[in-house]
Amino acid sequence: MTTAGVGVYGGTFNPIHVGHLRAAAEVADALGLEIVRFVPSWAPPHKGGEPIAPAADRLAWVRCAVADDPRFVADPIEVERGGASYLVDTLRQVGAELAPAYPVFLVGSDAFREMGAWRAPRELFTLAHYAVMNRPPESPDLDAWIPDAVREDLEVAPDGVSARHRRAGTWVRAVPIRGIEVSASQIRARLRDGCSVRYLVPESARAAIERCAAYRDPSSAESETERDAPRLA
């Protein structure tokens, strides 16, 4: 299967953690991507009811996190655009930069299944290729994962791990990754409880993430000095 050179990894990155970095590295290796753009959202339209750090902070953390890998860059496109961050707007802009090539959008299998509810789902699949990340023991099964809204537009290969758009020629590919079992919600919970997140988030961004007021327990009267003291967790 033909691959493209530029990946786009969008998300809230609330906060960015080592699992994000490991997943992007594995996809880049599997598909031969030269660059992966990490794109923090300004305001995610599909999430609510959770504490979200300011977009400028999340972008700064991503910049710190990706600085050591020459394949990774932080892209401020959604933060600079402001407002609700819709993927279709981002892919239109990135696609115009890369034309005639297509970007490769990195997405987890759970989120991929929900893309039928995202803005302009049928257009989304004409704007980019898709690397759908799944973790063992889940077996790749694109036929089961494809949203109903775009099912008629995609032809799944007999192997069940790739598909091609019937008109645009873009492709979808399942990319198994080992990844790291860590989530942003777990990290936020640890920060709220005053626990260490060392080795869960990039060390270059850890101090700033730990200081973020959005993740603190508002009922806690703990001082800044106490917060920054070493802990066992």
Q: What is the pLDDT of residues 129-177, one digit of tens each?
A: 999 999 877 788 899 999 999 999 999 999 999 999 999 999 999 999 9
Going across the sheet that includes 162-165, the strands are 72-74, 35-40, 6-11, 104-108, 129-134, 171-176, 162-165, 154-156
The pLDDT value given to residue 227? 34
Q: Which of 43-57, 188-202, 218-232 has the highest mean predicted lDDT (pLDDT)?
A: 188-202
Asked if 33 contacts 27 with a C-beta cutoff of 8 angstroms, the reply is yes
The CATH class given to the 6-176 domain equals alpha beta
The pLDDT value given to residue 4? 53
Confidence of residue 232 (pLDDT cuts 50, 70, 90): very low
Asked if 211 contacts 15 with a C-beta cutoff of 8 angstroms, the reply is no
Cis ω before 15 (30° cut-off from 0): yes
Residue span(s) of the chain under CATH 3.40.50.620 come to 6-176
The pLDDT value given to residue 161? 95
Percent share of the chain, pLDDT over 90: 82
Per-residue pLDDT tens for 4-53?
Answer: 599 999 999 999 999 999 999 999 999 999 999 999 999 887 666 688 99
Asked if 199 contacts 18 with a C-beta cutoff of 8 angstroms, the reply is yes
Buried-exposed string 12-35: b where 16+ CB fall within 10 A, e elsewhere: bbbbbbbbbbebbbbbbeebebee
Max distance between CA atoms of the chain, in angstroms, equals: 59
Confidence of residue 233 (pLDDT cuts 50, 70, 90): very low
